[in-house]
Each structure stands twice: as structure tokens, then as C-alpha cells.
Amino acid sequence: MIKKKFVILGAGPSGLTLANSLISNGVDKSEVLLLEKEAEAGGLCRSKIIDGSPLDIGGGHFLDVRRSDVLDFLFSFMPKEEWSKYKRVSKINLNNYSIDHPLEANLWQLPKHLQVDYLEDISKAGCQRGDEMPISFVDWIRWKFGSKIAADYMLPYNEKIWSVDL
């Protein structure tokens, strides 16, 4: 039996960050065991090449980062040249229309009547009315985006991503 002081399950962003933080703060590498069930690290924030194109395993937006302090942190324990970089083309199929991600920035790509419906609903959202921010995730989605975007996109999307009933 191998004894370790720290056993970390999963080499996704959290597991990698925890392992790096422990070692950076003086824990000997021999005391840290990082286990990953997949063939490569990255968890839900990794990509695989499928039919010649990169496919984000869990959405991918985690690493769509523009903040230099976050990038500096990531590159401090996994050098920039070891990362795979892809130009991201992410589309949303909504009401039989294909629009660019993120939805809230690309409503203009929908027909005018749908734009009006969504924008009117957003204008009635709790965050626009000054309602107190709710605690539950489902209620927060409705509070932030309105009931129409919540029902048509955000709730089904998040149930698919997280594989749970929200």
C-alpha cells in the first residue's frame, strides 16, 4: 500500500490547481497523488479532436479567458506552449435558427419578432427590476435572463451540461 498525505481525485482545473497550490506552498511532491480516470488531464475543460475538429468536452468557455492575471496563474504551472489553442466557433440552435454564442450578445441574429420577444422579457427580469438576487441557480437564471431565455435556452443548456435536473 502506498501512503500519501494528499490524494486528489480528478485532474480537471480544480484538481490541478490544488496539486499546484500544495506543492507551491511547500508540500513535497512525493506527498501528493493526483488521480485521473481519463487518458489526459483537463476534466470538463479539455478538448478532443473528433472528425478533424476540436470538440469541447464540457463547454470549453472556462478557458476563453481574457484576464491576464488568470492566464498568468494558469501558465505558472502549465506553460503556455503545452496548451492546445483553437479558434472557437460555437453556435446555438434556438427556435430553428443558428446563432453565435453567447446568446445574450447575439440576439440580433434572430428574426426581429424573436428579438423583440426576448428583449421585452429581459427588460422584465428581476435584475432589471431591482429584485433581490435569488440563492438557487434556477431562480438566478430567471432573475438574470428573464423567463423566456431561461425556458428556451439557459435551463435546458445547463441541465445538459451538468447532467442533472436543476
In a domain, 32, yes or no: yes
CB 10 within 8 A of CB 38: no
Domain boundary among 57, 82, 107: 82
For position 62, what pLDDT does the model report? 58
**Angstrom distance (rounded) from CA 119 to CA 146:** 9
Q: What is the mean pLDDT of residues 63-90?
A: 78
Highest mean pLDDT: which range of 9-13, 32-36, 72-76, 91-95: 32-36
In a domain, 20, yes or no: yes
64 and 99 inside one domain? no
Domain span holding position 110: 91-162
- Structure confidence by residue, pLDDT tens digits, 97-121: 999 988 888 999 999 999 999 999 9
Are 105 and 38 part of one and the same domain?
no
Cell of 81: 506552449
Peptide bond before 102: cis, by omega within 30 degrees of 0? yes
pLDDT of residue 34: 96
Are residue 75 and residue 128 in the same domain, yes or no?
Answer: no
Identify whether 158 is part of a domain: yes
Given this model, what pLDDT does residue 63 score? 57
Contacts of 25 (CB under 8 A, 6+ apart): none
Give Cα 145 to chain centroid, integer Å: 17
pTM: 0.61
Rounded CA Rg of the chain: 20
Please state the domain count of the chain.
2
Whether 106 is covered by a domain: the verdict is yes
**Residue 153 is assigned to a structural domain of this protein:** yes
Backbone angles phi, psi at 91, to 5 degrees: -115, 155
Residues 6+ apart with CB under 8 A from 40: 46
